[in-house]
Amino acid sequence: MNVGIVQFPGTNCEYDTRYAFEQLGCTTQILWHKNDTVAANTDLLVVAGGFSYGDYLRSGAIARFSPIMQAVIDFAHKGGKVLGICNGFQVLTESRLLPGALKRNEHLHFLSRHHHLQVVSTDNAFLNRFTCNDIVNIPIAHHDGNYYIDEAGLRSLYDNDQVLLRYCDAQGNIANPNGSVDAIAGICNAQKNVFGLMPHPERAMESILGSSDGKRMLEGFLNA
């Protein structure tokens, strides 16, 4: 599988993401934000985490206007698979590839720790190796991870099976670290080819580092 990884000024997870996908046997390419094309043989585009443009204005708000994003949008509109992780999720909402917005964490603190997630939907390329209600342990590292969407939008997400992950404790009880609506940690678009989540699966590839649950997440794209 050929994976393109988008890099902006301030991105800091592109090499972790490259390492993760190369561990799965994928061929990877780092795509600088000034590029305006994507290789024709690309199977997956990943908008990696970090602090694009220093998170000025709003997280992801400036990155949305980089030349590479028009190529990402075109790729997605043609059915190509796109994954946004943390700041990448923020960029995808700013680009309107995903609904909703990411706000400052409810308690105004930067969060950096492992956190449990409950799998809500598996009828998609990303989480097809799981069953609904599985619990995973994935690192989070964000200051603006408070997912917001209005009531009508939230109903639409559930009606279209677009909610992928919710924050929980080890037993599956809701444990919301940042104030996200309905404790949502990850979603997809209605067509189920664009995915976004605040936690970092690329940092959960090896048990020695705390969890290998992220590996099983990313492996889903290999089976799609």
Rounded mean pLDDT, 153-166: 98
Q: Which of 14, 115, 116, 202 is catalytic?
A: 202
Question: In the predicted model, is pLDDT for residue 204 greater than 90?
Answer: yes
pLDDT value, residue 176: 98
Q: Please name the residue that has the structure tokens 């990448």.
A: 88
Q: What pLDDT, on the 0 to 100 scale, is given for residue 143?
A: 95
Work out the percent of the chain whose per-residue pLDDT is above 90: 96
How many angstroms separate the CA atoms of 186 and 199, rounded? 8
The pLDDT, as a whole number, for residue 58 is 85
Q: Does residue 209 or residue 182 have the better pLDDT?
A: 182
Q: What is the pLDDT of residue 27?
A: 98
pLDDT at residue 224, rounded to an integer: 73
127 is written with which tokens? 């989480």
How much is the pLDDT for 79?
97
Full residue range of the structural domain in which residue 95 is found? 2-223
- Number of helices (H), then strands (E), belonging to the chain: the values are 5, 11
Among 33, 115, 116, 200, the active-site one is 200
Q: Is 86 labeled as catalytic in the residue annotation? A: yes
**Stretch 166-193: mean pLDDT:** 98
The residue from 13, 86, 168, 188 that is catalytic is 86
β 101-103/81-85 pair status? unpaired
Both structure tokens of 13: 């997870």
Count of Cβ atoms closer than 10 Å to residue 144 Cβ: 22
Is the pTM higher than 0.75? The answer reads: yes
Whether 168 is a known active-site residue: answer: no
26 tagged catalytic: no
Model confidence at 90, in pLDDT bands (50, 70, 90)? very high
120 confidence band (pLDDT: 50, 70, 90) = very high
Q: Tens digits of per-residue pLDDT, 59-84?
A: 999 999 999 999 999 999 999 999 99
Radius of gyration of the chain (CA): 16
CATH code (residue 137): 3.40.50.880
DSSP string, 100-159: SEEE--TT---EEEEEEEEE---SSSSSTTS-TT-EEEEEEEESS-EEE--HHHHHHHHH
Q: Which of 57, 63, 79 is nearest to 31 (CA)?
A: 63
pLDDT of residue 56: 84
Q: How many domains does the chain have?
A: 1
